[in-house]
Structure 1
């Protein structure tokens, strides 16, 4: 069974998560501060990381950034009370795959964990025009040149490419890519789309990833 590293300084929460996840069959390791969490993340084989934002010795944001410098593929889920748009963007830009607000339902967290493990097992090569996404290696190339995307940019582009030829609404993208199933400002999508387009050297009217005004986005082979 998969191994999950929990980096959380609140003993009650880490004990609660450990008990629940072990009952589901996962192997659990716990770190109660950022420095130890980073050490365990880099030295040991883990399949997923649950990461608190506010940690002693090193913040969750710093831990996430350091992990991404060494390991781009491991899923990282933030557990945090922070929930402003700017804080959400900061977490995703640091390399987080997901974001769940405290207090949270254990059942919801468990389902999100399962989703990330399903995504890992569905590795394949997908293409869009001159774009190639190798989901096993987590690499995007454009005209055979590697494009450096953040984790959230990668997931957003991959979702659009996997649904190419179909308009993806803003609500759908927030639910499927961000795993947010409540009222939320979808303007956060624009921030990441603008960055993706800049890195791919395309504008918002380019047919390969086109904006459908007032609705969402569509990716097309051209």
Structure 2
């Protein structure tokens, strides 16, 4: 699971980013000023830093310069309200890899993150104790052995694992995986969960039925 450090003093933005990125399967930490950002960088060792330009204590430019002076492997995406060319160039000169202007759509930021991970020679892999999901290669391995899943089975397993230990209703799964919420089609979820359980073998037993509600991938 890749680590992302958010350094942003606007708590509404940092909270939104934290929730969205955790939902995508990232391990996320948040810092609300530049000094805390440097401290959490040291302890958390993130793969990517989403760094606001205008920060209290130490500004984003200085944070980026400090980190980049000895670490060329961490990805840095500068996040700022300044859209003029000069500010963008200045941000990139400090060592930032990319630049996103506020306001922005979360889909754009996620695409930038995925692109940066690829440029860094990384790609998103979700892991449980015995299951590995490679989102870029669309591969699933159970105990090191690759298994064949349909696209729907792949997306269903990925969603359950991202939300592991949380009960997900059939209605929510139908909406997220199939794109609609027609209650007459809830049996689709049951059918595909059964397919998935069989293909996962012993690991399929971790997909628990919560009667009257839905399902949960229970990590022991």
Taking structure 1 as the reference length, the TM-score comes to: 0.54
Report the Cα offset of residue 120 of structure 1. 1.7
Give, in whole Å, the separation in 2 of the partners of 1:87 and 1:117: 24
Give, in whole Å, the separation in 2 of the partners of 1:84 and 1:45: 31
Report the Cα offset of residue 72 of structure 1. 1.4
Say yes or no: does 1:115 pair with 2:146: no
* Post-superposition CA distance 1:94-128 (Å, at most 9, x none): 00000000000000000110011111227xxxxxx
Matching residue of 2:105: 105
Give, in whole Å, the separation in 1 of the partners of 2:29 and 2:114: 18
Counterpart of 2:4 in 1: which secondary structure?
strand
* Post-superposition CA distance 1:57-80 (Å, at most 9, x none): 000000000001121121100110
Matching residue of 2:85: 85
Mapping of residues 44-193 of structure 1, within 5 Å: 44-121=44-121
Size of the alignment, in residue pairs?
123
CA RMSD of aligned residues (A): 1.4
Counterpart of 2:61 in 1: which secondary structure?
helix
Say yes or no: does 1:9 pair with 2:9: yes
Report the Cα offset of residue 83 of structure 1. 1.5
Report if the CA contact (8 A) 1:75-1:116 is conserved.
yes
Matching residue of 1:34: 34
The structure whose residues are more often helix, as a share, is: 2
Matching residue of 1:196: none
Give, in whole Å, the separation in 2 of the partners of 1:16 and 1:71: 28
Name the larger-Rg structure.
2
Taking structure 2 as the reference length, the TM-score comes to: 0.54
Report the Cα offset of residue 44 of structure 1. 2.8
